[in-house]
């Protein structure tokens, strides 16, 4: 079953299902309340923004993105593929990100439909995105979770999710992406909502002692 998160209704349905599946997630919900929807538009620009914003501060990402959008107007797959490197450099993009954006543009021209990936299972959709050279699991999962609203997408490589799981499960070390994915298996088909709960828990605990909830 593939659930698409369009509104609060799907978030609430996911929370109720997760509360029944895992009392630890029920405790997070009791502590933090309803997790935010965090749903954005999908498509080429949305995925490009995720790529651009990686490994830089929010302020830097916004500045780079604004310059890039000014140069790439309209922002199309054709433009990404055909533009000279100088246009990307004007936006302040690094060479690895330039290569990834070019590869993404070519993949779209070759038939990759970014809007219909939500119809696939989370694993299959992730596999399609990571075929694009330069797009890794984290980028794919974040796009699926917050741009397409895939209810079962789960960014196990995200450090905030890993740290939230460490606190929640009282682990000595932060679980890596593979271990966290194994932990999250029990939360299918609502792993996207479980991630939202964990993000909320992480944000809450950053301002507290870091002691796990009961």
Write the pLDDT tens digit of every residue in 169-212. 999 999 999 999 999 999 999 999 999 999 999 999 987 544 34
- Contact assessment for residue 28 and residue 60, using Cβ atoms and an 8 Å cutoff: no
Asked if CATH classification 3.40.50.300 holds for the domain at 8-38+152-206, the reply, yes or no, is no
pLDDT over 80 at 83, yes or no: yes
Give the residue-averaged pLDDT of 24-40: 95
Question: Does 80 have pLDDT greater than 60?
Answer: yes
Do residues 149 and 6 make contact, with C-beta atoms less than 8 angstroms apart?
Answer: yes
Domain positions in the chain are 8-38+152-206, 44-146
The percentage of the chain sitting over the pLDDT mark of 90, rounded to a whole number, equals: 90
Q: Is the pLDDT of residue 213 over 50?
A: no
Is the predicted pLDDT of residue 69 greater than 50, yes or no?
yes
Question: Is-contact 152 121, C-beta < 8 A?
Answer: yes
* For range 62-77, the mean pLDDT: 95
The answer as to CATH 1.10.340.30 being correct for domain 44-146 is: yes
Q: What is the pLDDT of residue 207?
A: 77
Determine the Cα–Cα distance for residues 211 and 61; give it in Å rounded to an integer: 33
Distance CA(121)–CA(42), nearest Å, equals 17
Do 193 and 36 touch, CB atoms closer than 8 A?
no
If pLDDT is split at 50, 70 and 90, which confidence band does 55 have?
confident
Length of the chain: 214
């Amino acid at each position: 079953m593939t659930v698409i998160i369009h509104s609060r209704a799907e978030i609430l349905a996911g929370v109720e299902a997760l509360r029944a599946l895992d009392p630890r997630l029920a405790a997070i919900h009791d502590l933090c309340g309803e997790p935010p929807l965090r749903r954005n538009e999908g498509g080429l620009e949305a995925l490009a923004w995720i790529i651009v914003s990686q490994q830089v501060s929010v302020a830097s990402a916004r500045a780079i993105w604004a310059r890039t959008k000014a140069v790439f107007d309209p922002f199309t797959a054709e433009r990404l593929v055909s533009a000279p490197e100088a246009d990307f450099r004007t936006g302040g993009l690094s060479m690895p990100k330039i290569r990834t954006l070019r590869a993404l543009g070519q993949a779209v021209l070759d038939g990759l439909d970014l809007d219909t990936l939500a119809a696939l299972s989370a694993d299959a959709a992730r596999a399609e995105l990571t075929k694009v050279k330069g797009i890794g699991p984290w980028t794919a999962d974040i796009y699926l979770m917050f741009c397409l609203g895939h209810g079962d997408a789960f960014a196990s490589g995200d450090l905030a999710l890993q740290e939230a799981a460490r606190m929640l499960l009282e682990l000595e070390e932060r679980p890596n992406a593979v271990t966290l994915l194994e932990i999250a298996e029990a939360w299918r088909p609502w792993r996207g909502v479980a991630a939202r709960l964990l993000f909320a828990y992480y944000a809450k605990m950053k301002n507290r002692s870091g002691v796990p909830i009961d």
